[in-house]
Structure 1
Amino acid sequence: MCGINGIFAWSGEAPPVDRDELIRTRDHMAPRGPDGEGLWTGEGGRIGLGHRRLAIIELSAAGAQPMASIDGRLMLTFNGEIYNYRALRAELIAQGVTFASHSDSEVILALYAREGAAMLPRLRGMFALAIWDLERRELFVARDALGIKPLYYSNRAGTFRFASQVKALAAGGAIPTAIEPAALTGFYLWGSVPEPWTILADVFALPAGSSMAIGANGAAAPVPFHSVSAVYREAEAASAAGGAVPDLAAALLDSARHHLEADVPVGCFLSAGVDSGALLGLMRDTGARDVPTVTLGFDEFAGAHDDEAGLAAQVAAHYGMPHRVRRVSEAEFAEDLPRILAAMDQPTIDGVNSWFVSKAAREMGLKVAVSGLGGDELFGGYPAFRDLPAWTRRFAMARPFGALARQLLSGIGPERLGLNPKAAGMLEHGGSWTGAYLLRRGVFMPWELPELLDRDLVRTGLDRLGPGFGAERAFEGGEPASDFGKVATLEAALYMRNQLLRDTDWASMAHSLEVRVPLVDPVLMAATARAMTAPGARLGKAPLAAAPALPLPGAILHRAKTGFSTPVGRWAQKLMGDAPLPAIAAGPRSPWARRWTCHVAASLGGGPLVASAAA
């Protein structure tokens, strides 16, 4: 796990690579890679690659990057882990390939030399990578199938720049810092910046599951090699054709085994929920012993349902693993908040829980920890799996009258009638899948944005977001036919990717910790998609809880979901104090997330009524 960056002056009219800029960008990401740093330039100063290393596999200097292929043709900078690299390495050795190290990075180089972009579906893991091809005079960049690892780029004035963080590109000094209207508008709608936009107008996210080639004529369009919606459409087709349903217990164990590939100890974030508990049991089934586990505890939750500590300790004892409860106080939250906001690469209303549990794991001496993130998307654990099908059926016929009803109800004020602020849009948007999803996940509604932001900015931002306020992008691979497939695609391609995975990345890497997510795995997703779209399939995590040889206790399976809950809402409310807020965020019945959204945006320069965005 690392931080990567690079500059390619592809146009003959562009100035050569500024070595100081390359270093500034790289070293802004120092917490991502405290174990080493690397820099390479070539082509007479037209191409430069940087790397900050967190050594997990092949701890020796042989794993340092940027890494050249044995023949010198290729140069790689890579962030992530390839969990099946040993099998790929053995295959390549059988074909006559020789290796100078035992790193997964060298396997990527050898595989790319033979297969080019066709190698990408074969890489099981999380990755963002860049390869310079000396023969082709071409830069190749790619990102893993489900978007676990980030890769951001800017392509302007004949120069292509990329890095693992948006703020790192800005730190280089050559990227304009104008705010992107689609990003700011999307943040107020969704609570995170929707890809492919970033908060900076000239910086974009390389789409998950895609690659891009940059040559003498500039950057080609991203080429996809994986699509979440296609996974569910293929699963639906297989279900319709009949045949055997995959053995989920075997698929889950297989993913857990792959995600334990490391040359350092691997710990586990342990909540009182099914996802992390089942993963700990599966880790035990692979032969792992003495896996360090950590749970967050809060004095405010003592004895309440939200207190994870007691049940989590029982799960650790159930599987015979050492356990630590890390207490977080309100004072520590207040002290850390400036550092949290500084580490936050793009505005988000989440990530505080990931910050503190990552901090705790690093205090324990860990460099790698496993998280249960992704289980709700695979097994239908979110309320959206029940709500969206019901809403779309109930309100489909009302859509032609929805705008008028919304205008009338907005004029009255839903809160005056004791309704949720989103209620005004139910008739207008509840009948479509993306509209219903916005109502389920959204923070502010589109018609409320002019009270928060400059009207021209809102108009531009909504126009750039496009259909479904950006949510339609989840279905670019084609819309699944089943209700489950539609909701699973929306959750995995939007909420999980834009918020959960991104927040996990910046919060954990700020503490030089690698977080692995065995339930976010394309091989496992294909198996669970087939099972969950099979005739008679039921929502729920019973298959996950039963997957370990020693199943989870029933008290865990039947406990209401909280996840890694924190009292951040209460703490944040105190810290915000009497800060002025728009009326729609300041009302006594207004959800705290609305106030927190405004606070985060203001702290990062995109607060209410901002007008200084790119037109």
Structure 2
Amino acid sequence: MCGINGIFLHNSPVKSVDPEELLATRDYMYNRGPDGEGLWISRCGRIGLGHRRLAIIELSSLGAQPMHTSDGQLSITFNGEIYNHIELRKNLEAKGFTFRSHSDTEVLLHLYRDLGIEMIEHLRGMFAFALWDNHNRKLIVARDPYGIKPVYYSNSSGIFRFASQVKALLAGDHIDSSINPAGLVSFLLWGSASEPFTLYQNISILPAGHILEIDNFGKKKIHQYWDINNVINRSYSASTKIPASQAIELGISAIKDSVKAHMVADVPIGTFLSAGLDSATITGLAQELVNEPVTAMTLAFEEFIGRSLDEVPVATEIARILGVRHNIVTARMDEVENELSTFLNTMDQPSIDGINTWFVSKAAKNAGLKVVLSGLGGDEMLGGYDTFETIPEIIKHSAGYNSNLLLNNLFFNIHSFFAANFSHLNPNNSDILNMTRNITSAYQLKKGLFMPWELKHLIDNDIMLEGINRLSKIAEFESVSNIDSDFGKIVALESKKYMRNQLLRDTDWIGMAHSLEIRVPLVDHVLLNSLVGLAANRKIGYKKEILPRSLSTKLGDNIIKRPKTGFTIPIWRWLNNSNSFSAWKRNRYLRHENIIPNKRWAYCILEQCPQISKYLK
């Protein structure tokens, strides 16, 4: 796990890459890779690559980057892990390729030489890399199917720049930091900026499952090589042919296979352990694969002690049953106060989530860990969220209201007027009939942050309208209309909107801020293909029942049947009790008692950004 960056002068009068800019961008990402550093500028001076290294596989200097083929025709800077690199290496060696190291990075170089860009179809892992093909004079930038690892880029005035973080690109001091209305509006709608937008006009994120190619003349091509909608449909169709008697066995095998794949490392691997089935299963399967006790980290909040939201008692019981080494870290109000400025300053893109991950990642680093496994992804794939039940019910019950279109169109117009002018009375329900006509809009009603009609109370009207207009242009990329089942549509929405744009993004920047690689075995495109269809057809039990069944050591019913509580933080107390969270009190709309704490928290986050605060009301 690392930080990558680069500059490509494809169509610029500038004669050579500026090494100072390359270094400034690279070294802003020091925490992403404190174990090593690398810098390379081509002989012609038109391409430069940078790298910060967190050594996980091939700990010796043979794993240093940027890495090149022996003839110097291919160069790469790579962030991530390729979990099937040993298998790929064996296939390449059988074809006559020779290796100097045991790193997965070198596998990527030889695999590209063997297969070209089609190599991407053979990778299992989390990755973002940039590969310079000197023979064809082009740069190739690629990102893993789910988008676990990010890569941001800017392309203007004949110069293409990229990096693992937005703020690293800005640290190079050559990119205009004007605000992108689409990034701002999508943050307010969802609590995070939607791909491919960022908060900045001149910085984009390469979408998940995409490849970008740009040649020496500046001709740029972006294409999608992996589409979760298609995978869900194929898995759903294939699962109909699988007998119920075999489904459980196949599901368990797929889960075990994914965890085993994610255990490839030359350093010890720990886990995040909550009271949930996802992390319990991941922790248990990881323990079954190693001889020494796995270190499992549990986060507690002082405000929850003795209450139902306190996950420590159940997590402690799980740790005892599984036989792992259990570390509990407790976050207190004074610690939050002390960490708040660091947390917000380090935040790469605005997000309403992440404080919990920040504290547990810090604890993992203090415990000496460089790699941990997280249970993230189980709810999205197996239907663990209540959206899988409530959204179809919302659609079903609203169908009767939509039967008389003429009458309802009149009603909707009247209702929208009240929503726009009196929405503070109950904001998230004020336009419920308009937003329950299809699964996508019902999902926004259920999972969105601010509703569209609330935005005019928060930001300038012009930037709001421009942001909404730009967001409409990515509707096709985010669409789920071609998915065959309602279950599959919600899997895609949870994966595209919530997990990809917020959970995975936060996991990356927060883990890397603590020089910690966080792996997510339940966010795996091979596993998704095997499991999601079985889940949609209810052949592997209700919701996440399949997870604990994959363990050799059985968990008790008090753990398995425990109601889902989520990874909660006591933000309502912090907002009311801390002067550091008082920005929302300046906005009359946000002071209404029905405004949920997350909305106030979002406003406070935007207040921290000088470029944005001038647009806030």
Pair in the same fold by TM > 0.5: yes
CA-to-aligned-CA distance 1:316-336 (integer Å, 9 cap, x gap): 111111111111111111111
What is residue 86 of structure 2 aligned with on the other side?
Answer: 86
What is residue 455 of structure 1 aligned with on the other side?
Answer: 461
What is residue 601 of structure 1 aligned with on the other side?
Answer: 606
2:418 aligned to which of 378, 386, 409: 409
Q: Does 1:544 align with 2:550?
A: no
What is residue 22 of structure 1 aligned with on the other side?
Answer: 22
Q: Are the counterparts in 1 of residues 236 and 534 from structure 2 also a CA contact under 8 Å?
A: no
What is residue 581 of structure 1 aligned with on the other side?
Answer: 586
Cα distance in 1 for partners of 2:524, 2:319 equals 24
The offset of 1:242, in angstroms, is 5.7
Opposite residue 21 of structure 1, the aligned amino acid is E
What is residue 227 of structure 2 aligned with on the other side?
Answer: 227
Q: Are the counterparts in 2 of residues 457 and 611 from structure 1 also a CA contact under 8 Å?
A: no
TM-score, normalised by the number of residues in structure 2 = 0.95
Opposite residue 486 of structure 1, the aligned amino acid is K
Q: Look up the SS of the partner of 1:413 in the other structure.
A: helix
Q: Could you tell me which runs of 5 or more consecutive residues in structure 1 were left unpaired when the two chains were aligned.
A: none
Opposite residue 610 of structure 1, the aligned amino acid is Y
Cα distance in 2 for partners of 1:154, 1:424 equals 39
The offset of 1:72, in angstroms, is 1.8
Cα distance in 2 for partners of 1:173, 1:471 equals 33
Q: Look up the SS of the partner of 1:223 in the other structure.
A: strand
Q: Could you tell me which runs of 5 or more consecutive residues in structure 2 were left unpaired when the two chains were aligned.
A: 403-407
Q: Are the counterparts in 1 of residues 4 and 51 from structure 2 also a CA contact under 8 Å?
A: yes
2:293 aligned to which of 290, 293, 301: 290
What is residue 248 of structure 1 aligned with on the other side?
Answer: 251
In structure 2, relative to structure 1, the CA distance for the partners of 1:361 and 1:536 (3 Å cut) is closer
Q: Within 5 A, what are the aligned runs for 1:462-501?
A: 462-466=468-472, 472-475=476-479, 479-501=482-504
The offset of 1:481, in angstroms, is 1.3
What is residue 201 of structure 2 aligned with on the other side?
Answer: 201
In structure 2, relative to structure 1, the CA distance for the partners of 1:131 and 1:479 (3 Å cut) is same
Cα distance in 1 for partners of 2:14, 2:370 equals 40
CA-to-aligned-CA distance 1:404-424 (integer Å, 9 cap, x gap): 2432432673554xxx41111
Opposite residue 360 of structure 1, the aligned amino acid is A
Cα distance in 2 for partners of 1:394, 1:422 equals 18
What is residue 365 of structure 1 aligned with on the other side?
Answer: 368
In structure 2, relative to structure 1, the CA distance for the partners of 1:515 and 1:535 (3 Å cut) is closer
Q: Are the counterparts in 1 of residues 301 and 330 from structure 2 also a CA contact under 8 Å?
A: yes
The offset of 1:37, in angstroms, is 0.6
Cα distance in 1 for partners of 2:76, 2:210 equals 17
Opposite residue 465 of structure 1, the aligned amino acid is L
In structure 2, relative to structure 1, the CA distance for the partners of 1:58 and 1:548 (3 Å cut) is same
What is residue 434 of structure 2 aligned with on the other side?
Answer: 428
In structure 2, relative to structure 1, the CA distance for the partners of 1:249 and 1:197 (3 Å cut) is same
The offset of 1:219, in angstroms, is 4.4
In structure 2, relative to structure 1, the CA distance for the partners of 1:47 and 1:286 (3 Å cut) is same
Cα distance in 2 for partners of 1:536, 1:84 equals 28
Cα distance in 2 for partners of 1:406, 1:27 equals 53
The offset of 1:155, in angstroms, is 0.7
Matched residue count = 606
The offset of 1:563, in angstroms, is 3.1
Q: Are the counterparts in 1 of residues 277 and 560 from structure 2 also a CA contact under 8 Å?
A: yes
Q: Within 5 A, what are the aligned runs for 1:351-362?
A: 351-362=354-365
Q: Does 1:168 align with 2:177?
A: no
CA-to-aligned-CA distance 1:86-122 (integer Å, 9 cap, x gap): 1111111111110000001001111011111111121
Q: Does 1:258 align with 2:264?
A: no
Cα distance in 2 for partners of 1:539, 1:455 equals 45
Q: Are the counterparts in 1 of residues 179 and 612 from structure 2 also a CA contact under 8 Å?
A: no
Q: Are the counterparts in 1 of residues 151 and 165 from structure 2 also a CA contact under 8 Å?
A: yes
In structure 2, relative to structure 1, the CA distance for the partners of 1:535 and 1:60 (3 Å cut) is closer
Cα distance in 2 for partners of 1:286, 1:491 equals 30
In structure 2, relative to structure 1, the CA distance for the partners of 1:411 and 1:354 (3 Å cut) is closer
Q: Are the counterparts in 2 of residues 281 and 551 from structure 1 also a CA contact under 8 Å?
A: no
Q: Does 1:32 align with 2:32?
A: yes
In structure 2, relative to structure 1, the CA distance for the partners of 1:552 and 1:220 (3 Å cut) is farther
User: Percent identity between the aligned chains?
Assistant: 44
The offset of 1:604, in angstroms, is 2.0
Q: Are the counterparts in 2 of residues 268 and 280 from structure 1 also a CA contact under 8 Å?
A: yes
The offset of 1:609, in angstroms, is 6.2
Q: Are the counterparts in 2 of residues 7 and 162 from structure 1 also a CA contact under 8 Å?
A: yes
TM-score, normalised by the number of residues in structure 1 = 0.95
More divergent stretch after superposition (165-174 vs 433-442): 433-442
Cα distance in 2 for partners of 1:415, 1:540 equals 35
Cα distance in 2 for partners of 1:336, 1:99 equals 45
What is residue 341 of structure 1 aligned with on the other side?
Answer: 344
In structure 2, relative to structure 1, the CA distance for the partners of 1:264 and 1:411 (3 Å cut) is closer
Q: Look up the SS of the partner of 1:222 in the other structure.
A: strand
Q: Does 1:445 align with 2:451?
A: yes
